[in-house]
Amino acid sequence: MKRPLKWFVVTVVVSAFAAVAVYRLGFYTSPVAVVAAHEGRMAHNIHAPGTIQARYPITVGARVPSVITGLYADEGDRVEQGTRLARLDARELAARLTAIRADLALALANHRRDRELFEKEQSLISRSELDASAAAVEAARARESEALAILSHTDITAPAGGVITARLVEQGHTVGVGTPLFRLADPGTLWVVARVDESVSGVLAVGQPATIELRTGERATGTVARISKESDAVTRELEVNVAFDTPPERFAINLEAEVTIRAGEVEGVVVPIRALSYGEGGQAVLVIREGRVQRQPIETGIGDGEYVLVHNGIEVGAPVVAAPQRVRVGQRAEPVAEGR
């Protein structure tokens, strides 16, 4: 008697659960919170990585081969135009100048003598000889001027005001013509060299405001100063230069920065980002049509972290499921405005 009763109870319970399941699957309509897609305006912010660069970088190089005998500036120093930066060994050049001046003195003496002889008695010296001695004087003076110019290059000065961003030599180093010694940058010419995808080039314009966040955490404002007219054939990116409105107090060339350019606003249909659904068919939203949850593929554009612009797929007023992770496609549903 007990065993048939037990099986009877189990059968009743299973049947009850099955009935509930069938009811919920086939007949029960659950309330589902929805939000209406609406017309809105979206700020078009373009984010791009970049690095700090000087618009007019200055490299101070050696103009004569010699040895560094004095250094008077270091990295981080702010200098004015004409500030002494370094000195090169000038002893050999000074000795050469002394020899040239001796040659000049001899040429002057010879020309003076020739002129006196010519003026006293023209038969003693020809006009061509007098002209030759005069030419020798001019040649000696030219060599003196050249030697003085070369000697002046042993005193290295700043060609413009700015901050020394790199010192590339130490005292005692031997340098050749063209060896870089210092690099300078005028803080007033600093900008961020950023790279943006060419797909947004149509909305970029010189003069657009931007914010700049440095790797150090410092934030600054800036303005788009220049947009490249050449796109990288491999990365399909454009170079965009964003100038600082106020140069940062502390900076380093090549320091990483993140630029956000405010490229205006775009109008269109918007939905909350939390309403987006992802799957094998790509991006979509869930909508309620004919009493059931259905998947609607969409194509989205820019977003602001809370809402996203929808280019196509839904129209204004469409009831979009607010929490797609809580429902399943095909279930019966009754749309209820969120918050009610």
Q: Is 149 helix (H, G, I), strand (E, B) or coil?
A: helix
Range 91-152 classified under CATH 1.20.120 = no
Burial of 301 (0-12, 13-18, 19+ CB in 10 A): middle
Architecture of domain 28-43+268-337: Beta Barrel (2.40)
Beta strands in 55-135 (DSSP E): 58-61, 66-71, 78-79, 84-88
Tokens for 319? 């009831």
Closest alpha carbon to 194 in 164, 223, 162: 223
Only one residue has tokens 């060339």, namely 253
The pLDDT value given to residue 122: 65
What pLDDT, on a 0 to 100 scale, did the predictor assign at position 283? 87
Give the count of beta carbons closer than 10 Å to the beta carbon of residue 268.
15
What is the per-residue pLDDT for 1? 44
| CA angle (280, 290, 22) in 5-degree steps | 80
Question: What b/e string do you get for 187-204 counting C-beta neighbours within 10 Å, with b at 16 or more?
Answer: bebbbbbbbbeeebbeeb
Residue with tokens 């659950």: 30
Indicate where the chain has its CATH 2.40.420.20 domain(s): 28-43+268-337
Distance CA 120, CA 138 (A): 23
Region(s) of the chain under CATH 2.40.50.100: 58-89+154-185
Calpha distance 229→248 (Å, rounded) = 28
Q: What does the pLDDT read at residue 202? A: 87
| CATH code 1.10.287 region(s) in the chain | 91-152
Give the C-alpha distances (Å, rounded to integers) separating 49 from 76, 198, 238: 25, 14, 12
Element (H, E) at 36: strand 30-36
Torsion of CA 193, 202, 223, 183, to 10 degrees: 20
In the chain, CATH 2.40.30.170 sits at 46-55+187-265
Tell me what pLDDT residue 289 has: 86
Residues of the chain with pLDDT under 50: 1-2, 12, 16, 18-23
If we measure between CA atoms, which residue out of 25, 94, 26 comes closest to residue 66?
94
Question: In 3D, which of 242, 310, 232 has the Cα closest to residue 271?
Answer: 310
Please tell me the distance from the alpha carbon of residue 207 to that of residue 201, in angstroms, as a whole number. Answer: 14
CB-side exposure of 20: number of CA atoms within 13 Å? 5
The DSSP call for residue 274 is: G
The hierarchical CATH code for the domain 46-55+187-265 is 2.40.30.170
Tell me if the domain spanning 58-89+154-185 has CATH number 3.40.50.2300.
no
